Amino acid sequence: MGQARIRIEKAQCVGNARCHAVAEVLFPLDEDGYVATEGFDVAPGDEALARRGARSCPERIITFLEETA
């Protein structure tokens, strides 16, 4: 299995915070209630949670990427 990564089109976030509700540790919010990161490497074991957080976004601005080595 390769390294998984989350990519977020942060400028398109409208603040529904569904990703945060599903996985608050992976998808922190800024002081205005918008996702606070543009992406991150997914730690081993967090892949399923990261996928659920990405799928929860109604704007579909969160992408789960998996690189194969």
Task: In whole angstroms, give the CA distance from residue 10 to residue 33.
Answer: 12
CATH topology for 4-66? Alpha-Beta Plaits (3.30.70)
Q: DSSP letters of 3-38?
A: -EEEEE-GGG--S--HHHHH-TTTS-B-TTSSB--S
Q: Which two tokens stand for residue 58?
A: 């109604």
Query: CA 36 → CA 2, 7, 57, 68, 69, distances in Å?
Result: 25, 12, 14, 27, 29
pLDDT in tens, 24-67: 999 999 999 999 999 999 999 999 999 999 999 999 999 999 98
Does residue 68 have a pLDDT over 80?
Answer: no
pLDDT of residue 2: 76
Does residue 69 have a pLDDT over 90?
Answer: no
pLDDT of residue 31: 96
